[in-house]
Amino acid sequence: MKYTIFKKYFPYLLTACVACSSGQSKRPSNEEDKAFSAYTDHFVTALWKQYPSWATRAGYHAYDTVLTLPTPENAVKNKSFLQAQLDSLSAYPLDRLSASQQIDYHLIENRLKSMIWSEDTLKSFEWDPSSYNEAGTFAQILTGRYAPLKERLRAFGKRLQGIPAYYEAAKKQIKDPVPELQALAIKQLKGGIPILSTNFADSIEKADLSAEERKAMLMASENAVKAINNFTDWLSGLRSTHPKSFRLGRDLYEQKFAYQVQANQSAEGLYHSAIQRKNYVHGEMMKLSKELWPKYFGNIPMPTDTLVLIKKVVDTLSVNHASAAGFLDTVRNQIPRLIDFINQKDLLYIDPSKPLTVRETPAYMGGVAVASVSAPGPYDKGGMTYFNVIPLAGWSAAKTESFLREYNHYILQTLCIHEAIPGHYTQLVYANQSPSLIKSLFGNGAMIEGWAVYTEQMMLENGYGGNTPEMWLMWYKWHLRAVANAILDYEVHVNGMSRAQALDFLINGAFQEQAEAEGKWDRVTLSSVQLTNYFSGYHEIYQLREDLKKKDKDAFNLKKFHEQFLSYGNAPVKYIRELMLN
Ligand code: ZN
Ligand code: ZN
């Protein structure tokens, strides 16, 4: 799944879904399981009451009208809530719970500790002004289908009344902001204004409301927009004499990595694994490029610089791509082919009753991601799952050509594996079979991304794409992105890599285009740790598979491995590993 503006505020929503469960949930088998199950229900209900905006974004709408102010008093209340929950949790006997509940236990504990750590140590509420943005929550209310428009507008209007006080409180929290995040906050807050103004007003027009109600709503909207403009003006003028650096530094980085990725190794360990992988991939790409050279370049002498050689072959292969008009159909046609291949090779069970609908990304989702899977949240029972593909309409010829080359014949197949089948979409279908609200809300991003990356390689290993050197070379180039993301994140946040060094690494070491590399630099200055998810999850899943192969020898079965792995839901790979190696 790709990074979108709203994901920053709610990174766990898009990847979560227990809505369309197949009905066969495993009920707790003993008293302890039952007690723990009751506790988790209770915990989530209490969590929503404490964090109403989070509840709305998760699709739980009982607190839509409530906007909690970011005041120090509320921070104290949040902390005592988290501490009390941690105490309650510790009363349950971890080792006597079912496997699925043990994972839930770990996820809750990790999340609570992580939130306390954020409050006490990370303190991003002081230096990241972009965390004060409620546009995504308002959008959720406006575009949701959970209640009639009139009801949603009333909740929207009521909530909107809190915005002026919200930004007054935010101003008091911000100290020495990171300049990059300061600029991002201004940009995103301005970008979110239409949701509170024109989009809201348009919906008011359509709803059956009294003139008085309309007037009050429009007044609330006007005041909210004024407050946001006032806040962005204040932010624009804010000049700290010692602004915080966007670089997290070693200690904070290690700790954030531990909480967010929940990996088997440290961030530093993962960084070294990624370097090793990069070197291996370079070696493979060199061999494949040498093999392909005569086929595409005949007697022209081969460049002596291997990175130049690889880049030339990759560029030449990129000319093989879909037409702009046929792009969506090309993607659509891939889906049945992927399913046929998986069935024929017996790689894992694909539920035929859960087809995937391919469509152009709707305008309201923004044209950020090339492709994404949007799934209903845990509370959105009848919701549909879509495979969204970016519409190319209205693009210049040059932009279109560059895009089509980037997502060429080879890469596009990889993209469909990653996003759809057997990547993200298939993983979602499996996760829905063991519904756990906790796994859906606190799901592990590294496992989810890692699975998608792993399946790309697994499909190629089994011969998808004809096992040709072309397919492998292009896949390695694509795969190098995930590896480079992990290296870059660590280099920048811990080792202090400069922008020029980063661009050189991405362009010459990972064969990225200038624009892509510049975009990646921006992303690494605005986020931390998130970029390691892809490689960390991939690395651990692949290692687990190889370890199981060694352990089970002839009894190892790839299909069984995949199905069992996915049956645990959105859990950190390290816990799945414990359960599978046991
Ligand atoms: Zn993904
Ligand atoms: Zn072309």
Concatenated DSSP letters of 281-325: HHHHHHHHHHHHHHHHHTTSPPPSSHHHHHHHHHHHHTT----ST
452 Cα to the center of ligand 1, angstroms: 6
Alpha helices in 8-70 (DSSP H): 31-50, 52-58
Identify the helix (H) or strand (E) that includes residue 359: strand 357-360
Alpha helices in 298-420 (DSSP H): 306-317, 327-345, 397-406, 409-419
Cβ-Cβ contacts under 8 Å for 223 (sequence gap 6 or more)? 160, 161, 163, 164
405 Cα to the center of ligand 2, angstroms: 6
364 Cα to the center of ligand 2, angstroms: 29
Domains of the chain: 131-237 (1.20.58)
Phi, psi for 371 (deg, rounded to 5): -150, 150
Q: Give the pLDDT mean for 11-18.
A: 32
484 Cα to the center of ligand 1, angstroms: 15
Of 2-16, 249-263, 477-491, which gets the smallest average pLDDT? 2-16
- Is the Cβ–Cβ distance between 136 and 116 less than 8 Å? no
| Ligand nearest to C-alpha 372 | 1
Q: Give the pLDDT mean for 260-281.
A: 98
Largest CA distance in the chain: 80
Q: Rounded to the nearest 10 degrees, how much is the dihedral formed by the CA atoms of 145, 229, 189, 183? A: 180
Q: Decide: helix, strand or coil at residue 357.
A: strand
Cβ-Cβ contacts under 8 Å for 428 (sequence gap 6 or more)? 17, 373, 375, 385
- Please tell me the distance from the alpha carbon of residue 52 to that of residue 65, in angstroms, as a whole number: 9
327 Cα to the center of ligand 2, angstroms: 12
| Ligand nearest to C-alpha 419 | 1
| Ligand nearest to C-alpha 537 | 1
pLDDT for 431 beyond 90: no
pLDDT band at 19 (very low <50, low <70, confident <90, very high): very low
393 Cα to the center of ligand 2, angstroms: 17
- Is the Cβ–Cβ distance between 528 and 256 less than 8 Å? yes
Q: Decide: helix, strand or coil at residue 62.
A: coil
More confident residue, 129 or 136: 129
363 Cα to the center of ligand 1, angstroms: 21
Q: Give the pLDDT mean for 322-337.
A: 95
pLDDT band at 354 (very low <50, low <70, confident <90, very high): confident
- Please tell me the distance from the alpha carbon of residue 312 to that of residue 302, in angstroms, as a whole number: 10
| Ligand nearest to C-alpha 398 | 2
408 Cα to the center of ligand 2, angstroms: 9
14 Cα to the center of ligand 1, angstroms: 11
pLDDT tens sequence across 292-312: 999 999 999 999 999 999 999
pLDDT for 8 beyond 50: no
Position 29 scores a pLDDT of 62
352 Cα to the center of ligand 1, angstroms: 22
| Ligand nearest to C-alpha 453 | 1
pLDDT for 367 beyond 60: no
| Ligand nearest to C-alpha 416 | 1
pLDDT band at 7 (very low <50, low <70, confident <90, very high): very low
281 Cα to the center of ligand 1, angstroms: 20
Q: Give the pLDDT mean for 235-239.
A: 95
534 Cα to the center of ligand 1, angstroms: 8
More confident residue, 6 or 38: 38
pLDDT band at 378 (very low <50, low <70, confident <90, very high): confident
The token duo for 62 is 């009982």
Percentage of the chain modeled with pLDDT above 70: 94
Position 10 scores a pLDDT of 31
| Ligand nearest to C-alpha 448 | 1
336 Cα to the center of ligand 2, angstroms: 26
pLDDT for 365 beyond 70: no
Position 340 scores a pLDDT of 97
- Bridge-based pairing state of the strands 371-374 and 386-389: antiparallel
Percentage of the chain modeled with pLDDT above 90: 80
pLDDT tens sequence across 504-553: 999 999 998 888 899 899 999 999 999 999 999 999 999 999 999 999 99
Q: Is the dihedral of CA 274, 278, 284, 289 positive or negative?
A: positive
402 Cα to the center of ligand 2, angstroms: 8
424 Cα to the center of ligand 1, angstroms: 7
User: Measuring CA to CA, how many Å separate 234 from each of 194, 213, 223?
Assistant: 20, 32, 16
The token duo for 35 is 């007690």
| Ligand nearest to C-alpha 371 | 1
Give 361's DSSP letter.
Answer: P
Q: Give the pLDDT mean for 91-106.
A: 92
Tell me the pLDDT of the chain averaged across its residues: 91
The token duo for 303 is 């460049």
Rounded to 5 degrees, what angle do the CA atoms 351, 353, 359 make? Answer: 100
Only one residue has tokens 């069984």, namely 560
Q: Give the pLDDT mean for 190-205.
A: 95
| Ligand nearest to C-alpha 533 | 1
Indicate the residue type of 279: N
pLDDT for 15 beyond 50: no
pLDDT band at 17 (very low <50, low <70, confident <90, very high): very low
| Ligand nearest to C-alpha 370 | 1
Indicate the residue type of 314: V
3 Cα to the center of ligand 1, angstroms: 9
CA 33 to chain centre: 31
| Ligand nearest to C-alpha 451 | 1
Position 385 scores a pLDDT of 85
The token duo for 518 is 């510049």
Position 379 scores a pLDDT of 82
pLDDT for 14 beyond 70: no
Indicate the residue type of 85: Q
The environment of the single-atom ion ligand 1, i.e. residues with CB closer than 5 A, is 1, 449, 452
| Ligand nearest to C-alpha 482 | 1
- Is the Cβ–Cβ distance between 19 and 376 less than 8 Å? yes
| Ligand nearest to C-alpha 324 | 2
Only one residue has tokens 């766990």, namely 12
pLDDT band at 264 (very low <50, low <70, confident <90, very high): very high
Position 368 scores a pLDDT of 62
